[in-house]
Amino acid sequence: MTLRNVRLAIAAALAFGLTAPAAAQWSERPSGFQPRYQREDGGFQPRYQREDGGGFRPRYERGEDRDFGRARRGGDGDFDFYVLALSWSAGFCELGGAQKARRQCAPGAGAGFVVHGLWPQYERGFPENCSAFDRPLPRAALDNVQGLFPDEGLARYEWRKHGTCSGKGPGEYFADVRRAREQVRIPGRFSSMRTDAHVTPMDVLRAFEEANPRLRPGMAAVGCRAGVLQEVRVCFSKDLRDFRPCPEVARKSCRARDIRVPAPL
């Protein structure tokens, strides 16, 4: 190879090499991106998802206790309304809950609808795990949840996952949980059950609407799995003064034609 050809080869290599760092940098994270983080196994990892062909937004995995919307990390108090989830205890126990909550699922416990949680919600999606710090809950706050949640462990979990997104301290958040629960009247037919019942999801919603005159269609949803009633989810305004429409939640209501309501244990 002549000296001239060597020089041309070196120049070409340098010209192509100058683009390599920029290309590698773009593939890692395009210029102008601001990483958002998702909690994974104790740490936070950035995830990106292209939406509507323009720009990238963070993608977060959906919470395991909800089957509507998409979870994303929010700021304190940054949400649109609340969802009060009332779990049908016998259904929860039958669907695997007995291994997690032995006291709640013990024979003779007799629990009906119990508080699962009070969840901040966006019009589309919901925030969760809004604090990166897992601080111990004050004993006074936990004392106030007696008789509200079926067990203290669930109260701790709900505070960490959902309460930290309320913009309030644990005492205020649990007071709001109690306030929301006290505003929902449980239909009498569920309080007097002695044997299993077969109903439609619409039957359950209508029963709650009859027992709560301000609760109208589109303000609540039924959760079911494997043909068994899991819970009823009621939507509240952010100030908890009244029920409110929640199209995304209502759209995800149970679609089964018939569900079984196990009798209280």
Condensed to tens digits (0 to 9), the pLDDT of residues 188-216 reads 999 889 999 999 999 999 999 999 999 99
The answer to whether 81 and 237 have CB atoms below 8 angstroms apart is yes
Question: pTM to 2 decimals?
Answer: 0.73
Domain extent listing, the chain? 1-32, 34-62, 74-261
Quick one: average pLDDT of 26-47? 34
Q: Active site includes 116?
A: yes
pLDDT at 64: 43
Query: What's the pLDDT band for 49 if we cut at 50, 70, 90?
Result: very low
**Which residue among 40, 94, 152, 158 is the active-site one?**
158
Would you give the distance in Å from CA 144 to the centre of its chain?
A: 23
pLDDT at 2: 53
The C-alpha angle with vertex 122 and arms to 116 and 125, in degrees rounded to 5, equals 80
Neighbour tally for 232: CB within 10 Å:
27
**Which residue among 28, 128, 152, 162 is the active-site one?**
162
**CATH (residue range 74-261):** 3.90.730.10
Query: What's the pLDDT band for 220 if we cut at 50, 70, 90?
Result: very high
Q: Which residues contact 6 (CB under 8 A, 6 or more apart)?
A: none
Quick one: average pLDDT of 59-84? 63
Neighbour tally for 44: CB within 10 Å:
14
The whole-angstrom separation of Cα 174 and Cα 168 is 10
Q: Active site includes 198?
A: no
Q: Active site includes 64?
A: no
The whole-angstrom separation of Cα 239 and Cα 143 is 24
Assigned token pair, 146: 């007696």
The whole-angstrom separation of Cα 168 and Cα 77 is 7
pLDDT tens per residue, range 114-157: 999 999 999 999 999 998 777 789 999 999 898 999 999 999 99
pLDDT at 70: 59
**Which residue among 116, 123, 198, 248 is the active-site one?**
116
